[in-house]
């Protein structure tokens, strides 16, 4: 009897869902519609603007439970034009050669004046501005490449170039400015005549920027000798990058119109304006000092500063639309700036650390051969591969015309977090060298400053808890936003019709994902689609993403149906769901990169390690949702559908990790692809350059040492020493006995010298006057560019055999 009752209930549900729409809308839908209208929390204007800002892209496919791999792999690989390549090879490299991170932080406490002027003169501040305004009109991918390379050289340089091309006056003017504003400001910004900043954050409105307390009261006032309609603006802002040196202040504030002076159809609210920094009443404060980073950053304020209405970006018709403007621009800019800077920092860490592992010896063995070191090194390499893949894919989305709000949040959060892991692993490997400050330490500043990227453009805790899933569940889900819009429709009949289509479409969607999840779990996902023509060794990963995408879609619906509006406050659950979505995006990026780069066999270990690691993190996140789900019966049902036999994916093996560690210590194309787009100085004062020179000789030196082992065993030579003086004497003794050729002696001598420079740790006077010491070091540098090149150092006149 019970079986028949259950069958009857199931049959009734199916009939309801698939019944003819007119019958359903008259008998069933009105009650559900009324319930939804009653229980859905009201949406504020700022929440609506945030949700509707930007576009959906691959994230919508992942939310669907059925990602379209064919469409995805047909996307073109990101590329540079000939003009962009020339700029990278010339102007970008020239700019990198003009700065030194240690000197910037210890001598200049900022960028050298010549380097900053070069950046302005050569158009670095106008990369996103169209050519007819005098800008470079570079692609988003090019923008990303520039920021990444600059980040491998000097953090202050990267930030001060990055910010004018990200969320700021130029970006806002391009999309929303009046023709008059564009014609005046964009050429000046492109030429570097104006230095822009944008002031959003207030002391009591940080991540909650929609709660801006700064106000602009509509009033009449004097401007240029005449009375005009304008705003009396008061603000107090902090953390404003370029603020201390800005000539043009972009400002977000809340417009108030107590006297009703605005047009009747104008709704006051958050607005954005451009104010010259020398305008009466504008206060440019002193500098902040964020974790020893020396990019220009500081507060600004003003009290009852009168500005004319035409200084509103877009004119008076854009009053009250500032929050939407900011959210739409941030949706694109957040996908580029910080991910690119973090990848650059990671490339610096990986280049320096992998070379150090190959040349630094302990117990007469290169430290890179120790399994403990290899474990950390493998994490560094695999994380960098996936970080760079996500950076490339996210920039491609912007170049394709998308404003990927959810994807940009994923890229910002996970690329910066993995960047932190890469730097931490590098510090662990470097040991004592990593913790002693000085020009010989290539990683300490990155270690100090990595929390900056974690914090800005949406603190990572906020991004993970509220944005990735919170925004994605509504924007990228195929039905949720439609349901919400229909319940808010003032036309009852139209709203009911739209709600009926969305709600019962949602029901069919959930049932389909439930069935598919169970089928994949029973079959191990073997029937999940694999794109035609994809690399066969990667097929299991395409299937795994398809399976977990289905489970993710199912659990998203389960969470929304069960928790309703309370899901917004269940941040641990929404965070874990966001983690699962993020891992699926990162895996997609790694698989796409592998295809784009021609399925390089030597790159496969990076893909295998990073994808397997991400699969484990995705399933662990979903398992964490189920383990902590408030409704235990619902959690049990979901677990039976998704993971009836336990969690299916295992972490990367030690064998794959060893392959990566070996590859990172091998001078070949795979390592060069991993580090592509990073700057390498031709300067023997640079520890990374010295490490690379020694690394380039390691294979030859090891061959010579193997050949000389019999001589050591016979007592003709002592064991290979470690220190430079002893090594020079050892090489001389081998040469005197005719055991090495002159060119081999030179190679071994060079290797010993470069290695000694690489492992060197700096010391300072008792008062630690590092700035004076660095200044002395700079003054002692050769006059030709202030550099000691490898070619000059190796000149025959200076290098007797």
Residues with a catalytic annotation lie at 457
Cα 205 from Cα 216, distance rounded (Å): 16
Cα 225 from Cα 535, distance rounded (Å): 71
Backbone φ/ψ region at 378: left (φ over 0), alpha (ψ -120 to 50), beta: alpha
Q: Which of helix, strand or coil describes residue 608?
A: helix
Backbone φ/ψ region at 412: left (φ over 0), alpha (ψ -120 to 50), beta: alpha
**Residues forming a β-bridge with 216:** 233, 255
Cα 669 from Cα 605, distance rounded (Å): 14
**Residues forming a β-bridge with 241:** 297
* CA proximity to 319, closest of 172, 216, 213, 201: 216
**Residues forming a β-bridge with 272:** 252
**Cβ count within 10 A of residue 718:** 11
The CA angle 262-270-250, to the nearest 5 degrees, is 105
Residue pair 124/161 in contact (Cβ under 8 Å)? The answer is yes
**Cβ count within 10 A of residue 454:** 18
Task: Give the 3-state secondary structure of 456-521.
Answer: CCCCHHHHHHHHHHHHHHHHCCCCHHHHHHHHCCCCHHHHHHHHHHHHHHHHHHHHHHHHHHHHHH
N- to C-terminal Cα distance for the chain? 99
Q: Can you give the length of the chain in residues?
A: 801
Backbone φ/ψ region at 42: left (φ over 0), alpha (ψ -120 to 50), beta: beta
Cα 473 from Cα 469, distance rounded (Å): 5
Pairing of strands 196-199, 248-256: parallel
Cα 101 from Cα 151, distance rounded (Å): 10
* CA proximity to 58, closest of 332, 338, 387, 405: 405
Residue with tokens 């009109």: 137
**C-alpha of 307 from chain center:** 36
- Torsion, Cα 710 714 717 722, to 10 degrees, reads 70
Angle between the N-to-C axes of helices 140-151 and 155-162, in degrees from 0 to 180, rounded to the nearest 10: 160
What residues contact 653, with CB distance under 8 A and at least 6 apart?
A: none
**Residues forming a β-bridge with 227:** 222
**C-alpha of 427 from chain center:** 21
């Amino acid at each position: 009897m019970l079986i028949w009752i259950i069958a009857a209930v199931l049959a009734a549900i199916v009939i309801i869902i698939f019944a003819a729409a007119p019958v359903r809308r008259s008998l069933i839908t009105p009650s559900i519609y009324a319930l939804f209208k009653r229980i859905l929390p009201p949406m504020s204007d700022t929440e609506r603007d945030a949700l509707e800002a930007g576009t959906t892209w691959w994230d919508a496919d992942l939310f669907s439970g059925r990602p379209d791999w064919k469409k995805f792999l047909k996307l073109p690989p990101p590329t540079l034009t000939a003009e962009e390549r020339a700029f990278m090879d010339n102007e970008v490299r020239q700019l990198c050669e003009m700065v030194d991170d240690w000197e910037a932080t210890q001598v200049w406490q900022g960028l050298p004046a010549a380097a900053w002027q070069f950046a302005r003169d050569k158009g670095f501040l106008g990369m996103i501005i169209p050519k007819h305004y005098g800008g470079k009109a570079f692609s988003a991918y090019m923008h990303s490449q520039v920021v990444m390379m600059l980040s491998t050289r000097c953090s202050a340089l990267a930030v001060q170039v990055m910010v004018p091309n990200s969320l700021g006056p130029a970006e806002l003017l391009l999309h929303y400015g009046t023709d008059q504003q564009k014609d005046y400001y964009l050429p000046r910004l492109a030429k570097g005549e104006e230095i822009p900043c944008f002031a959003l954050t207030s002391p009591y409105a940080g991540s909650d920027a929609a709660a801006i307390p700064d106000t602009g009261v509509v009033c009449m006032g004097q401007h240029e000798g005449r009375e005009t309609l304008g705003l009396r603006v008061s603000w107090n802002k902090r953390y404003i990058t370029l603020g201390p040196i800005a000539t043009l202040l972009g400002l977000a504030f809340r417009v108030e119109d107590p006297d009703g002076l605005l047009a009747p159809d104008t709704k006051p609210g958050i607005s954005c304006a451009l104010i010259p920094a020398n305008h009466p009443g504008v206060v440019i404060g002193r500098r902040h000092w964020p974790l020893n980073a020396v990019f220009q950053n500081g507060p600004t304020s003003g009290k009852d500063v009168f500005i004319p209405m035409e200084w509103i970006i877009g004119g008076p018709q854009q009053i009250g639309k500032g929050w939407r403007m900011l959210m739409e621009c941030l949706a694109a800019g957040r996908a580029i700036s910080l991910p690119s800077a973090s990848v650059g920092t990671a490339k610096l860490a990986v280049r320096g650390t992998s070379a150090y592992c190959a040349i630094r010896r302990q117990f007469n063995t290169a430290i890179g051969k120790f399994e403990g070191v290899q474990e950390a090194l493998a994490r560094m390499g695999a994380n960098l591969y996936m970080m760079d893949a996500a950076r490339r894919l996210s920039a491609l989305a912007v170049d394709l015309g998308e404003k990927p709000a959810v994807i940009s949040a994923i890229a910002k959060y996970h690329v910066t977090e993995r960047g932190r892991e890469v730097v931490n692993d590098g510090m662990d490997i470097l040991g004592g060298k990593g913790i002693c400050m000085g020009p010989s330490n290539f990683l300490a500043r990155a270690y100090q400053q990595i929390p900056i990227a974690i914090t800005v453009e949406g603190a990572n805790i906020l991004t993970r808890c509220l944005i990735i899933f919170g925004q994605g569940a509504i924007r990228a889900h195929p039905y949720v936003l439609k349901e919400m819009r229909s319940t808010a429709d003032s036309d009852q009949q139209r709203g009911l019709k739209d709600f009926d289509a969305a709600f019962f479409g949602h029901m069919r969607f959930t049932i389909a994902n439930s069935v598919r999840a169970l089928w994949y779990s029973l079959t191990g996902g073997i029937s999940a689609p694999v794109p035609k023509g994809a690399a066969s060794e990667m097929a299991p990963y395409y299937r795994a993403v398809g399976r977990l995408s289905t489970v993710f879609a199912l659990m998203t619906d389960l969470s929304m149906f069960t928790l309703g509006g309370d899901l917004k406050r269940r941040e641990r659950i929404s965070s874990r769901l966001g983690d699962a979505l993020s891992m699926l995006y990162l895996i997609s990026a790694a698989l796409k990169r592998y295809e784009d780069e021609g399925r390089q066999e030597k790159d496969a270990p990076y893909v295998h390690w990073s994808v397997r690691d991400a699969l484990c993190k995705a399933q662990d996140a979903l398992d964490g949702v189920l383990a902590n789900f408030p409704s235990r019966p619902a959690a049990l049902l979901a677990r039976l559908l998704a993971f009836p036999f336990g969690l299916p994916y295992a972490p990367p093996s030690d064998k794959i990790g060893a392959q990566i560690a070996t590859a990172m210590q091998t001078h070949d194309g795979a390592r060069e692809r991993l580090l592509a787009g990073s700057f390498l100085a031709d300067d023997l004062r640079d520890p990374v350059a010295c490490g690379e020179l020694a690394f380039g000789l390691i294979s030859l030196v090891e061959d010579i040492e193997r050949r000389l082992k019999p001589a050591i065993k016979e007592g003709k030579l002592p064991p290979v020493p470690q220190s430079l003086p002893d090594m020079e004497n050892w090489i001389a003794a081998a040469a005197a006995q005719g055991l090495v050729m002159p060119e081999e002696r030179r190679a071994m001598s060079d290797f010993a010298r470069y290695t000694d420079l690489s492992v060197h740790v700096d010391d300072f006077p008792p008062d630690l006057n590092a700035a004076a010491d660095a200044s002395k070091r700079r003054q002692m540098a050769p006059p030709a560019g202030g550099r000691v090149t490898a070619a000059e150092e190796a000149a025959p006149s200076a290098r007797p055999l």
